[in-house]
Structure 1
Amino acid sequence: MKKLIRDNKGLIAFLLLFGVFRTAVADWNPIPSSSMRPNLLEGDVVFVNRLAFDLKMPLTDTIVTHTGEPQRGDVVTFSSPTDGTRLIKRLVALPGDVVELRNEMLIINGKQAQYDAVQQVMEPIGQVEVPALRISEHLDGRQRRVQFIPKIDTQARNFGPVTVPPGQYMMLGDNRDNSHDSRYIGFVPRNLLIGRAERVLVSADTLTNWAPRFHRFGMSLRD
């Protein structure tokens, strides 16, 4: 064993440093589901800045120091508070915010988001396609495209009002009717935030022929 370690110490050191880098500095995250459509698609691989909010001890959720503050509208990767699964959603509410959804309309601290630029599309759900609406959502000077799927039967179109507890955050998927987010898993404590997704690194159409989507390479996720 000692000889094996001695003969491969360069490789072992590289792997250790690479592991530290991925768990403390920067990472990449494949998109496996449709919960962030239309902004993130299955087959996208996003770059995650792990130093955007906190410096953590490698391989742990222990925060050494804060490096920045999460903002409404950030696309964030985090560990689910229910089972530890890594998720990616949009941060919509900060500690102390009062959040409400009424017939899909997002309301933060009594201020309702404004909606325009409606686009009708067909959205794949399993083996079929159903009608969906893509709409620009404006709130606090930030804008993003969100998607509603009227044919999905869900009670989550109405939610709250609830107050986000201290040190926690509310996450929603941009695909509002097809996302397992804070409406189901609860608020997300800060120590479970992994990092902020900055841009799409590469992308391939995994639902059909795996063709590269070159127009998405390098696409920014910041408003």
Structure 2
Amino acid sequence: MPTLANLWRNNKSLIAFIFLMVVFRSAVADWNSVPSGSMLPTIREGDRIFVDKMAYDLRVPLTHIRIAHLADPQRGDIVTIDSSAAHELLVKRIVAIPGDSVSLVDNVLYVNGVRAQYRSLVVAPMRDAPSSPGIYLVEHLDKSSRVVRWSPVAPSPRSSFGPVIVPAGKYFMLGDNRDNSADSRYFGFFPRSEVMGRTRRVAYSLDPDHFYLPRIDRFGAALDAVAAAAKLPAY
């Protein structure tokens, strides 16, 4: 029967590789799958997003213990949250930081009394199911832009709220699929300590509607590329 010493002696290279990979994915960078459509069209079902675990903090591997503060999340950042309120890992966009006043009026975003600008996209960034048509708009506020999806057929009961003030040490986050996202409107403000990392790119993507074949065009794609390329007169 093999002993631990024999297992180490015969497989030390593999064991060391696995250990280093676990440490790397825990504390440095990781890729996460996105099972829901709450961030459509920015992040699609089947996307595996690249997450920079050191964007804001340096942590002890395999824990939430912070060794060093590196930066603070900013408005417009897409982040992963290990949410105690939702009991799962979420991916959302920060729309308001501590001290901000934030509100929605029929899905139109206001931060500190400033109304976001909107522009309709001539060509939709993705195909909707016939039973669930959406409207796609570029939303611009505070020097950042993103594509958001509104669902006129099935609007969210929380498409209007506020204004509310974001408390110290917390953030207000929304999904880009505004009428189909469980976010701060349902779970409240997310604590800074639950923000695990920032994502800006797709690592790779598999299409769940076509036998999980690779979506080659999304490999390495920048998440806000469509919005960044759009010129934005007021909507």
Determine the C-alpha separation between the residues in 2 that align with 1:6 and 1:22: 25
Determine the C-alpha separation between the residues in 2 that align with 1:83 and 1:142: 27
Determine the C-alpha separation between the residues in 1 that align with 2:151 and 2:122: 12
Deviation per residue, 1:97-150 (Å, 9 max, x gap): 1110111011101111011124586633xxx62221001101011111100012
Determine the C-alpha separation between the residues in 1 that align with 2:148 and 2:170: 23
Give the gaps of 5 or more residues in structure 1: none
Determine the C-alpha separation between the residues in 2 that align with 1:141 and 1:198: 16
Which one of the candidate residues 87, 91, 97 is aligned to 1:84? 87
Deviation per residue, 1:62-118 (Å, 9 max, x gap): 111111221111111111131431111111110111110111011101111011124
Seq. identity, %: 47
Give the gaps of 5 or more residues in structure 2: 229-235
How do residues 18-57 of structure 1 correspond to structure 2 at under 5 angstroms?
18-57=21-60
Determine the C-alpha separation between the residues in 2 that align with 1:207 and 1:160: 38
* Alignment TM-score, normalising by the size of structure 1: 0.92
1:181 match: 183
Which one of the candidate residues 201, 205, 208 is aligned to 1:203? 205
- Say whether 1:137 aligns with 2:139: yes
- Over 4 Å off, 4+ runs: 118-122
User: What is the RMSD computed on CA atoms of the aligned residues?
Assistant: 1.7
Give the 3-state SS of the residue equivalent to 1:23 in structure 2: helix
Letter of the 1:123 counterpart: D
* Alignment TM-score, normalising by the size of structure 2: 0.87
Give the 3-state SS of the residue equivalent to 2:207 in structure 1: coil
Would the aligned equivalents of 1:37 and 1:147 in 2 still touch at CA under 8 Å?
yes
How do residues 117-156 of structure 1 correspond to structure 2 at under 5 angstroms?
117-118=120-121, 123-124=128-129, 129-156=131-158
1:17 match: 20
Determine the C-alpha separation between the residues in 2 that align with 1:175 and 1:135: 11
Determine the C-alpha separation between the residues in 1 that align with 2:72 and 2:213: 37
Structure (1/2) with the larger strand percentage: 1
| Higher deviation after alignment, 145-154 or 7-16 | 7-16
How do residues 45-124 of structure 1 correspond to structure 2 at under 5 angstroms?
45-118=48-121, 123-124=128-129
